[in-house]
Structure 1
Amino acid sequence: MDLSNTEKKESSSKNLDVLLSERESFELSGPLHLTSIDWTNLDHRRSVAACLVQGVYIIERDRQENRQLSEALAPPWWNFFQFELYSQLIDDADSCVFGAIYKFKHAPSQGTPSYIIAFRGTLTKGNAFSRDLELDIHIIKNGLHQTSRFEIAMQAIRNLVAANGSQTSKSTIWLTGHSLGSAMALLAGKRMAKSGIFLDSYLFNPPFFAAPLENIKDPNIKHGIRIASSFLTAGLAVAAKLKNANQQRNNTPEDAFLALAGWVPCLYVNPADYICSEYIGYFEHRKKMEEIGAGGIERLATQHSISGVFLNAIGKESHEPLHLLPSANLTINLTRAADFKEAHGIHQWWRCDQHLETRIYS
């Protein structure tokens, strides 16, 4: 009996390993239909960006499993699209690979990126998990900018932009990431935008940690809560501004927010993914506030978080939440997901059988 149970467990473990290997294999899970890329096609751009993010995941999995040379599963995820691995971004705390810079093998044409900087999300297998979880907690606390991993990423981006400075205005450098990685790319993109450099950004399942209002089924209740929240946030923002009116302040949150207006990142979210689904309500609520004549209130409220303005009002330091964005190209996957894991997964974003809806907010 015990031997039988042991055999069943071993068999189950082997089946799981086979399933993981299949999902990591480009030949079995990748978009083999994309034999010709139209770089002006947003769907093609989305698919390529998602695959290069997957490439970062598999680079780290190859490292964990000691898969080298012909056994490595990662290279097809970028070779298929005519990219080469330019460099890896390695965390100084645990030596895991959290990002990669890919270089296009040919001379770029219209819409073609010269480089794509990609960041993976949290890995639940292997020795990277504890460090990834630590970074996830920093996101919740709006403290990602204080981590060494982000500083490594930011320095790599600055170096690449500096080395290709004459081309950055043509969007030849892309940022992309998934989950934790999309938070890294989003924060980096905001930093660059505030310095006047707008990098094309493709952000998959970006974290938005707030009360899960999108899960409320009654639209009237949901809309009512959002309206009340907007008025409260705007009121606190005005109070904080009046309190600090006599203080010398070179940069206000409003200034920083407006500096982002020309940057339009592409966000990809799934309504069944509670980690990112609040972006849907965050942007849609603006339009509804305009419709009821409260656009001015919402324009002020959307530049702040309740916790941030409250802390500022009482004289305590707060950090800007990642999700505060004036503009975005928001793509929603309306295909029914089997479970949360599927709704939050990267694989959905290169598949050609998904029902996607895109909304532009500015």
Structure 2
Amino acid sequence: MGRIPEHRRSVAASLVQGVYILERDRQDKRYGHNALAPHWWQFFHFQCIQILVDQVDSSIFGAIFEYKPYTPNYLGHPMAPQHGPPRYVIAFRGTITKPETRKRDFKLDGQLVLNGLTRSTRCQNALQAVQRVVTQVGPACVWLAGHSLGAAIALQAGKDMAKGRCHIETYLFNPPYASVPIEKLKDPYLKNGIRIASSVATAGLSVLAKGLRKNPSSQQYDPFKVLCSWIPYLFVNPKDLICCEYIGYFEHREKMEELGIGGIERIATKNSIVSLLSGALGRDGEAPHLIPSGFLTKNMVGIEQDITLAHGIHQWWKSHPYWHSELYQMR
């Protein structure tokens, strides 16, 4: 199941779908043999050993799955995590627009845009769950996975662990990029001009903000640089307004390097206008959606015109000849 990259991606997406169905089973009161969610993990020989519940609306937003292989001693083999399925997968769902969940989910979506998601109890509980599992078995035996809002939570948990040099294999499906989707502009010259102007402005504000800090020595540690060797898998659709800007984010950085002004872009890559304003107001100034490295897969299929299709998790659990993948790594 886990030896081929396509299989690993399909399994991760299916387990995320399982979390969606777990919450829908709860809302529709489907229990026992009537529950639909187990089909999404039992086919791959996983068991759901823990559900993660939001303290505010009592909804299920995540789950921890344990792999139960046919071979009794499989997980005891030292090479098992690298060449096969993980021992545990921690998966997070995205926004559900049904009445029982939409108020809480929409609020978290708003906090995401304003860089406030990390302060939410849902995000904090997710990180605590990840830390517990990693403490038990180590990072090599664990995967993180999430879709949409859940991808933002998985990304933040993965970043927090990576800052402690604990790298977890992470699958991010349609991860939100909290910015205007410049990638959707048709004119390439206008698009590139806006990106360059934005990079220069962001870099300038970043240098200014750094100069205004009272304790510059405390800024010697650069958490963004620590993240360079952590490479999550990102799966985006160019027609999805929520995640498509990741394409321009990575591609523009390479173009700036080619133009010989990569230094400006490296500064800009670490920050967003919102994060700089948040930092100036004394809040956490880190932009949670910004990462230095990633293995980006684009779904270029032409039929995905509707936003609900372009943003759906369904597109990622099956192989497709129109996908294009590329590694981006800041050094």
For 1:356, the equivalent position in structure 2 comes to: 323
Compared CA separation, residues 237 and 248, structure 1 to 2 (3 A): closer
Compared CA separation, residues 354 and 64, structure 1 to 2 (3 A): farther
Q: How does 1:203-214 map to 2 (within 5 A)?
A: 203-214=172-183
Find the partner of 2:191 among 222, 245, 258.
Answer: 222
Q: How does 1:71-86 map to 2 (within 5 A)?
A: 71-86=34-49
* 1:144 equivalent in alignment to 2:144: no
Alignment root-mean-square deviation, CA: 1.6
| CA shift for structure 1 position 331 | 0.4
Mark the structure with the bigger radius of gyration. 1
Task: State the identity as a percent.
Answer: 49
Compared CA separation, residues 209 and 248, structure 1 to 2 (3 A): closer
Compared CA separation, residues 147 and 317, structure 1 to 2 (3 A): closer
* 1:164 equivalent in alignment to 2:137: yes
CA distance in structure 1 between the aligned counterparts of 2:116 and 2:242, rounded to whole angstroms:
17
Q: Deviations over 1:289-348 (max 9, x none)?
A: 011111111111111112333554x56435311221110000000012030000000000
For 1:289, the equivalent position in structure 2 comes to: 256
Find the partner of 2:24 among 61, 64, 67.
Answer: 61
Compared CA separation, residues 318 and 115, structure 1 to 2 (3 A): closer
- The answer to whether the 8 Å contact 1:348/1:354 transfers is no
What stretches of structure 2 of length at least 5 have no aligned partner? none
Compared CA separation, residues 249 and 145, structure 1 to 2 (3 A): farther
CA distance in structure 2 between the aligned counterparts of 1:353 and 1:287, rounded to whole angstroms:
26
Q: Residue 297 of structure 2 aligns to a residue in which SS? A: strand
| CA shift for structure 1 position 60 | 0.7
For 1:116, the equivalent position in structure 2 comes to: 89
* 1:331 equivalent in alignment to 2:297: yes
Q: Residue 177 of structure 1 aligns to a residue in which SS? A: strand
- The answer to whether the 8 Å contact 2:167/2:230 transfers is yes
For 1:153, the equivalent position in structure 2 comes to: 126
Q: Deviations over 1:145-179 (max 9, x none)?
A: 111111111111111111113xx2xx210000000
CA distance in structure 1 between the aligned counterparts of 2:127 and 2:274, rounded to whole angstroms:
26
Q: Deviations over 1:167-214 (max 9, x none)?
A: x2xx21000000000000000000000111000000000000212211
Compared CA separation, residues 357 and 214, structure 1 to 2 (3 A): same
Q: Residue 218 of structure 2 aligns to a residue in which SS? A: coil
* 1:258 equivalent in alignment to 2:203: no
Compared CA separation, residues 356 and 149, structure 1 to 2 (3 A): same
CA distance in structure 2 between the aligned counterparts of 1:354 and 1:343, rounded to whole angstroms:
16
| CA shift for structure 1 position 249 | 4.8
- The answer to whether the 8 Å contact 2:229/2:293 transfers is yes
- The answer to whether the 8 Å contact 1:64/1:126 transfers is no
For 1:177, the equivalent position in structure 2 comes to: 146
| CA shift for structure 1 position 83 | 0.5
CA distance in structure 1 between the aligned counterparts of 2:57 and 2:186, rounded to whole angstroms:
42
Q: Deviations over 1:58-84 (max 9, x none)?
A: 011111111112211111100000101
What stretches of structure 1 of length at least 5 have no aligned partner? 1-36
* 1:239 equivalent in alignment to 2:208: yes
Deviates more, 1:46-55 or 1:228-237: 228-237
TM-score where L is the length of structure 1: 0.84
CA distance in structure 2 between the aligned counterparts of 1:137 and 1:262, rounded to whole angstroms:
30
Compared CA separation, residues 286 and 96, structure 1 to 2 (3 A): same
| CA shift for structure 1 position 239 | 1.7
| CA shift for structure 1 position 40 | 2.9
Q: Residue 160 of structure 1 aligns to a residue in which SS? A: helix
- The answer to whether the 8 Å contact 2:278/2:285 transfers is no
